[in-house]
Amino acid sequence: MTNKNPTSYDFIGDIHGCHDTLVSLLQALDYQYSDGCYRHERRQAVFVGDFVDRGPHQIEVIDTVRAMVDAGQAHAVMGNHEFNAIAYVTEDKKYGGYLRAHTERNERNHWAFLEAMQASPERYDELLEWFMTLPLWLDLGDVRAVHACWDRDGIAFLKEKYATDGLMTEALLHAASDPENPEFEIVENLLKGKTIKLADGLSYQDSVGVTRHYMRVRWWDADATTYKAAFIGPPAALSHIEDDPIDGDHLIEYGHNEPPLFIGHYWMQGKPTPLSPNIACVDYSIARREIGKLCAYRWDGETELDAQKFVCVPRLEP
Ligand SMILES: [Mn+2]
């Protein structure tokens, strides 16, 4: 039974291979398994990307999500981890090697998925093909989803140049992997969020211990005018971030009258709450063993988002 014109969607955050937790969340949201996938009589799910890497059940997560999408019970958008997985195995026609270099750090970040593919090599091509079907953004009319940032000008550029409504193409994949092209920054914005460079000589350690010279910013927040105020990242790193006014532009305008937007990606912590009246992040750090949880926002058509409408389950994976 496909629900053809739902006005009610459950936006589900980054899963990162945590299949037991995914099932626990779907059950908490009253989805039931029947006829090959999880379904809800009156609602659809929207997954905001980052299905793979980090957790123990890479393939299981994809199979559960894909079955829902195929049955018309869910939508899913691409996360940076799916984009990276494709780029990791795609040869770079211009510079040689692969579009995503096989550096030690990239391999470490991708290890859970690579290991799963070593155990099930027959699935590799098919899973990458599915990643390619995930749109970079999703506009459902009254509500929107993107993994990290709704870059309106970038979306308009891609729509025009690639005649796409969000779908990745071979040409765009290559263009977006070369920093010389405008596509690179646009896809970075959409999937990894807006970043700005710290002042010379400054850096901080991110949540997995990597030294960063760029910081993720609160791109939606016009009140965040200093580096410290705009910083998104581990609280412990804040002492390394200056309180000086931001040099240049860090904002990507998202008007208060635009449809509600759901994003993932930002490793939020604590009690879920919308980022602004019409933007909410549903990523609550599932990959962090001790504090991680998987969150959803139950949307029923409201234009102003409500902190009461998040539903979260704790991480079940050891
Ligand atoms: Mn992400």
Considering the domain architecture, whether residues 47 and 107 belong to the same structural domain is answered as yes
Backbone angles phi, psi at 121, to 5 degrees: -60, -25
Q: 154 C-alpha vs ligand 1 centroid, how far in Å?
A: 18
Q: 28 C-alpha vs ligand 1 centroid, how far in Å?
A: 24
Q: Is the pLDDT of residue 3 over 60?
A: no
For residue 82, give the amino acid letter: E
Considering the domain architecture, whether residues 103 and 199 belong to the same structural domain is answered as no
Which range has the worst mean pLDDT, 4-13, 38-47, 228-237, 307-316?
4-13
For residue 36, being part of any structural domain is answered with: yes
- How many Å apart are CA 196 and CA 287, to the nearest integer? 25
Task: Note down the domain range covering 214.
Answer: 195-251
Considering the domain architecture, whether residues 142 and 53 belong to the same structural domain is answered as yes
DSSP 187-242: HHHHHH--EEEPPTT--EE-TTS-EESEEEE-TT-TT--BHHHHEES-GGGGGGS-
Q: 268 C-alpha vs ligand 1 centroid, how far in Å?
A: 12
User: Counting Cβ atoms within 10 Å, is residue 138 exposed (0-12), middle (13-18) or buried (19+)?
Assistant: buried
Q: Is the pLDDT of residue 2 over 70?
A: no
Considering the domain architecture, whether residues 173 and 212 belong to the same structural domain is answered as no
Considering the domain architecture, whether residues 125 and 96 belong to the same structural domain is answered as yes
Q: 47 C-alpha vs ligand 1 centroid, how far in Å?
A: 12
Q: Is the pLDDT of residue 252 over 80?
A: yes
- Please compute the mean of the pLDDT values over residues 69-78 and round it to a whole number: 98
Q: 109 C-alpha vs ligand 1 centroid, how far in Å?
A: 12
- Please compute the mean of the pLDDT values over residues 255-277 and round it to a whole number: 95
Q: Is the pLDDT of residue 119 over 60?
A: yes
Which range has the worst mean pLDDT, 32-41, 203-212, 226-235, 278-287?
203-212
- Please compute the mean of the pLDDT values over residues 260-273 and round it to a whole number: 96
Q: Which of 311, 277, 283, 315 is nearest to 10 (CA)?
A: 311
Backbone angles phi, psi at 307, to 5 degrees: -60, -20
- Tell me, what's the pLDDT at 140? 96
Mean pLDDT for the chain overall: 94
Q: 264 C-alpha vs ligand 1 centroid, how far in Å?
A: 7
Share of the chain above pLDDT 90, in %: 82
- Which residues does 56 contact at the CB level (< 8 Å), separation at least 6? 17, 18, 19, 112, 317
Q: How many CB atoms lie within 10 A of CB 139?
A: 16
- Report pLDDT digits (tens) over 132-188: 999 999 999 999 999 999 999 999 999 999 999 999 999 999 999 999 999 999 999
- Tell me, what's the pLDDT at 1? 43
Q: Which of 127, 66, 51, 113 is nearest to 286 (CA)?
A: 51
- Tell me, what's the pLDDT at 201? 84
- Tell me, what's the pLDDT at 247? 81
Considering the domain architecture, whether residues 98 and 247 belong to the same structural domain is answered as no
Which range has the worst mean pLDDT, 90-94, 98-102, 197-201?
197-201
- Tell me, what's the pLDDT at 6? 55
- 55 and 112 Cβ atoms separated by less than 8 Å: yes
Which range has the worst mean pLDDT, 162-166, 215-219, 238-242?
238-242
Instruction: State the total domains in the chain.
Output: 2
Last residue of a domain, one of 216, 234, 251: 251
Last residue of a domain, one of 232, 251, 270: 251
Rounded to whole angstroms, what are the CA distances from 212 to 72, 148, 174, 225, 241?
40, 18, 25, 20, 11
Band of pLDDT at residue 206, cut at 50, 70 and 90: confident
- Could you tell me the CATH number of the domain that includes residue 257? 3.60.21.10
Q: Is the pLDDT of residue 238 over 90?
A: no
- Tell me, what's the pLDDT at 158? 98
Q: 266 C-alpha vs ligand 1 centroid, how far in Å?
A: 7
Last residue of a domain, one of 214, 229, 251: 251
Backbone angles phi, psi at 153, to 5 degrees: -65, -40
- How many Å apart are CA 125 and CA 240, to the nearest integer? 42
- Tell me, what's the pLDDT at 259? 97
- 229 and 301 Cβ atoms separated by less than 8 Å: no
Considering the domain architecture, whether residues 228 and 261 belong to the same structural domain is answered as no
Q: 1 C-alpha vs ligand 1 centroid, how far in Å?
A: 32
Considering the domain architecture, whether residues 146 and 30 belong to the same structural domain is answered as yes
- Please compute the mean of the pLDDT values over residues 16-37 and round it to a whole number: 98
For residue 295, give the amino acid letter: C
Q: 244 C-alpha vs ligand 1 centroid, how far in Å?
A: 28
DSSP 104-150: HHHHHHTHHHHHHHHH-GGGHHHHHHHHHTS-SEEE-SS-EEESS--
Considering the domain architecture, whether residues 132 and 239 belong to the same structural domain is answered as no
- Tell me, what's the pLDDT at 283? 97
Band of pLDDT at residue 57, cut at 50, 70 and 90: very high
Considering the domain architecture, whether residues 147 and 75 belong to the same structural domain is answered as yes
